[in-house]
Structure 1
């Protein structure tokens, strides 16, 4: 049999060196560091890859579309749709990187879509309910009560996340605006306060005084306020 032609696709697969999961992870996370992703994002990827391997029970670099589909089917028996989608997003980033850099031949996530979740209705307070809430807080006549009033006003004016709010420092408050530094995408942004909120923030800073921590919002022990504890 003549050997003058090109190798077939099957023959090329035989001689092509396959990348291992460990090598794939090393390349992927190196790219994450070069793009200066947050440590929390990198940890998120690591945790999701580890969890996915438990469901798939094979090397991630060897996965095909059917393996991902089986992952979804098995996951639905144990975890919520939102958690599954979080895992799929991590896998999509991983496989997109590998395919783009020609480390795998096919992208198993190419035709995989996120699961549809039922829309959840978020109950919001109307103006009368907000006014009642503020009156209830003001009746406390305590530092924590006044702090919570100011926090609520800032939330209503700006719509910042709780994690962003607790990261604000005193120097970030500048007249009618606050510089938000601890953001989800690591880019600073500016939010603005109404006159009423601006005045209350000034009063709060005056009562707060000079402390060892530079965080704007503190607990009753003069320590920085944590997002998991409003006390």
Structure 2
């Protein structure tokens, strides 16, 4: 009686078997909301600014809302793996034609989506990244219009320096004009950040989280000294 020997299979996998072996385990189990939660948690862990986290949340919420309206995701079966590149193309068309968004505005949304999908692809949550090499829309850069000296004078004269709020507004306008700091940066300046003897202001709240010093001239120093004197003692350390 002959002894049966098992047939040994080939070591190489065929294309179907490779697909089965390499498909991420979570590809059919992670919902859109779960993927967003992982993305936001990672951003917070990496120390992204609160404004950046809010930006990602808002843009991804808008994209999800559109997906629901298009029946691309549902309440109980909104798996992130269902989203394909065609969805991105259709969303861009919707923003452009139905919402009337500019290319620059659409690019803002695309950047958030690209960061999100790149993250979940690198995390092996999806196999195919619908935002891979997705191009931003072309934006024509025109000349930036500036205000005239007459308009600046009218703006500064509108602040009634005989009142506290008027002098405060005058001080902030002069500060923004002279230093070029962002509005959010100016709102985070502490009284102790103004270095009168050195003629600089320490900017602690910046977009890229790199602190810096900005110089101020004698007139700005004089205005700030007067404002701080008028402001008096306050529980709020900001100017």
TM-score of Structure 1 vs Structure 2, range by shorter chain: 0.7 to 0.9
Q: Distance in 2 between matches of 1:145 and 1:27?
A: 46
Aligned partner of 2:86 in structure 1 is 66
- 1:204 equivalenced with 2:224 (yes/no): no
The counterpart of 2:238, out of the listed 215, 223, 226, is: 215
> Would the aligned equivalents of 2:35 and 2:80 in 1 still touch at CA under 8 Å?
no
Deviation of the 1:188 alpha carbon: 2.0
Number of aligned residues: 215
C-alpha displacement at 1:206, in angstroms? 1.4
Residue 210 of structure 2 aligns to a residue in which SS?
Answer: coil
Q: Does 1:12 align with 2:18?
A: yes
Encode CA deviations 1:123-173: one digit per residue, 9 max, x unaligned: 322334424443x24665322222222212111111111122122121111
Tell me the residue number matched to 2:125: 103
Q: How many angstroms apart in 2 are the aligned matches of 1:2 and 1:67? A: 44
**Mapped pair 1:172 → 2:193:** yes
Does the 8 A contact of 2:66 with 2:91 survive in 1?
yes
Q: 1-side partners of 2:124 and 2:53: how far apart?
A: 22
Which of the two has higher C-alpha Rg? 2
Q: CA RMSD in A?
A: 2.7
Contact 1:75 1:84 in 2 (8 A): yes
TM-score scaled by structure 2? 0.76
User: Residue 193 in 1 paired to residue 216 in 2?
Assistant: yes
1:149 and 2:170 correspond = yes
**What is the CA distance between 1:27 and its match in structure 2?**
3.6
Q: Is the 8 A contact 2:107 2:136 kept in 1?
A: yes
Aligned to 1:156, what secondary structure does the other structure show?
Answer: helix
Gaps of 5+ in 1: 217-231
Is the 1:180–1:191 contact (alpha carbons within 8 Å) kept by the matching residues of 2? Answer: yes
TM-score, normalization by structure 1 = 0.78
Q: Which residue of 1 aligns with 2:76?
A: none
Cα separation, partners in 2 of 1:40 and 1:152, compared to 1, 3 Å: closer
Distance 2:228 2:141 in 1: 40
1:85 maps to 107
In the alignment, the residues of structure 1 paired with residue 180 and residue 26 of structure 2 have an alpha-carbon distance, to the nearest angstrom, of 48
Higher relative CO (Cα under 8 Å, sequence separation at least 6) belongs to 2
Looking at structure 2, the residues matched to 138 and 43 of structure 1 have their Cα atoms a distance apart, in angstroms, of 33
- Give 2:116's aligned residue: 94
